[in-house]
Structure 1
Amino acid sequence: MTIFGSGTLRLVLASSLALVSACSADTPPAAAPVATPAAGSSFLGSLTSTNWFGSSSTGVKLLSENVSAPIPAREMEDVLAFVYRGISSNYVDRSSLRPVVVAGLSGLSRLDPKVTVQDQGSNLRLVYDGKPIAQLDPPASTESPSGWSRVAATGAALAESVSPALRGTATDDILNALLNPALQNLDPYTRYLTPTQAKLEQAGRRGFGGVGVTLDPEQIGMIRAVLDDTPAARAGLAAGDRILSVGDTRVEALPQQQLIALLRGDIGSTVALTVQRGADAPFTRTLTRQKLFQTTVRGQRDGDGIVTIKLSGFNEGTLDEFKTEVKKYTGAGPTKGLILDLRDNPGGTFRTALDIADLFLADGPMMTARDRRGIVNETIATPGDEIVPMKLPMVVLTNGQTASASEVLAAALQDRGRAVVVGSGSFGKGLVQTVYEDLPNKGEFIMTTMRLHSPLGYSLHKYGVIPTVCTSRQADTPTAASHVTAEILTPDFHPEDVLYARRTADRSTEAARETLTGLCPPFTKARSNDIDRQVAETLVLDPTLYARALPAPTIAKKN
Structure 2
Amino acid sequence: MTAARTLLASCLSLALVSVPVGAQEPGAVQAAPEQAAPAPLPLDELRTFAEVMERIRSAYVEPVDDVTLLNNAIRGMLEGLDPHSDYLDPEDFKGLQDSTSGQFGGLGIEIGLEEGLLRVIAPIDDTPAARAGIQPGDLIMMIDDQPVKGMSLVEAVEKMRGPAGSSVTLTIVREGDKPFEVELERAIVKVKSVRTETLDPGYAYLRISQFQTNTGDEVRRSLQRLTSENDLKGIVLDLRNNPGGVLQAAVEVTDSFIDEGLIVYTKGRLPNSEMRFSATSNAPAGDVPLVVLINGGSASASEIVAGALQDHGRAIIMGTDSFGKGSVQTVLPLNNDRALKLTTALYYTPDGRSIQAQGIVPDIRVERAKVTVDPEQASAYREADLARHLNNVSGEERPTVRTPVTERTERDSDYQLNQALNLLKGLNISRKQ
Cα pair 1:16 1:403 within 8 Å, conserved:
no
Structure 1 segment 232-247 matched on structure 2, within 5 A: none
Partner of residue 431, structure 1:
327
Partner of residue 463, structure 1:
358
Partner of residue 202, structure 1:
97
Quick one: structure 1 residues 256 and 187, their matched pair in 2 at CA, closer, same or farther if it must change by over 3 Å?
Answer: closer
Partner of residue 454, structure 1:
349
Partner of residue 391, structure 2:
none
- Out of 373, 378, 392, the position equivalent to 2:276 is 378
Structure 1 segment 162-241 matched on structure 2, within 5 A: 162-163=59-60, 165-167=62-64, 171=67, 173-206=68-101
1:366 aligns to 2:263 (yes or no) = yes
Quick one: structure 1 residues 529 and 206, their matched pair in 2 at CA, closer, same or farther if it must change by over 3 Å?
Answer: closer
Partners of 1:377 and 1:185 lie apart in 2 by 26
- Out of 274, 292, 309, the position equivalent to 1:413 is 309
Partners of 2:66 and 2:241 lie apart in 1 by 37
1:306 aligns to 2:203 (yes or no) = yes
Quick one: structure 1 residues 196 and 334, their matched pair in 2 at CA, closer, same or farther if it must change by over 3 Å?
Answer: same
Partner of residue 123, structure 1:
44
Using the size of structure 1 for normalisation, the TM-score is: 0.46
Quick one: structure 1 residues 123 and 17, their matched pair in 2 at CA, closer, same or farther if it must change by over 3 Å?
Answer: closer
Quick one: structure 1 residues 327 and 156, their matched pair in 2 at CA, closer, same or farther if it must change by over 3 Å?
Answer: farther
The one-letter code of the counterpart of 1:391 is D
> Which runs of 5 or more structure 2 residues have no equivalent in the other structure?
12-31, 109-125, 128-158, 166-188, 374-410
The one-letter code of the counterpart of 1:537 is L
The one-letter code of the counterpart of 1:446 is K
Using the size of structure 2 for normalisation, the TM-score is: 0.58
Partners of 1:187 and 1:547 lie apart in 2 by 47
Quick one: structure 1 residues 453 and 214, their matched pair in 2 at CA, closer, same or farther if it must change by over 3 Å?
Answer: closer
Quick one: structure 1 residues 528 and 538, their matched pair in 2 at CA, closer, same or farther if it must change by over 3 Å?
Answer: closer
- Out of 378, 399, 416, the position equivalent to 1:532 is 416
Quick one: structure 1 residues 351 and 165, their matched pair in 2 at CA, closer, same or farther if it must change by over 3 Å?
Answer: farther
Shift of 1:214: 10
Partners of 1:542 and 1:166 lie apart in 2 by 70
Name the % identity. Answer: 29
Partners of 2:98 and 2:215 lie apart in 1 by 14
Partners of 1:445 and 1:456 lie apart in 2 by 31
What CA deviation, in whole Å up to 9, does each residue of 1:485-539 have, x standing for no partner?
xxxxxxxxxxxxxxxxxxxxxxxxxxxxxxxxxxxxxxxxxx9942221121012
Partner of residue 392, structure 1:
288
Shift of 1:373: 6.2
Shift of 1:417: 1.1
Secondary structure of residue in 2 paired with 1:302? strand
What CA deviation, in whole Å up to 9, does each residue of 1:205-233 have, x standing for no partner?
2466x9xx9999xxxxxxxx99xxxxxxx
Partner of residue 405, structure 2:
none
Cα pair 2:290 2:314 within 8 Å, conserved:
yes
Partner of residue 406, structure 2:
none
The one-letter code of the counterpart of 1:137 is R
- Out of 216, 230, 240, the position equivalent to 1:343 is 240
Equivalenced residues, count: 296
1:137 aligns to 2:34 (yes or no) = no
> Which runs of 5 or more structure 1 residues have no equivalent in the other structure?
1-14, 21-29, 31-89, 102-120, 125-135, 139-150, 217-224, 227-254, 262-291, 480-526, 549-559
Aligned residues: CA RMSD: 4.2
Partners of 2:251 and 2:317 lie apart in 1 by 17
Quick one: structure 1 residues 207 and 536, their matched pair in 2 at CA, closer, same or farther if it must change by over 3 Å?
Answer: closer
The one-letter code of the counterpart of 2:342 is M
- Out of 322, 340, 353, the position equivalent to 2:250 is 353
Larger RCO, structures 1/2 (Cα 8 Å, 6+ apart): 2
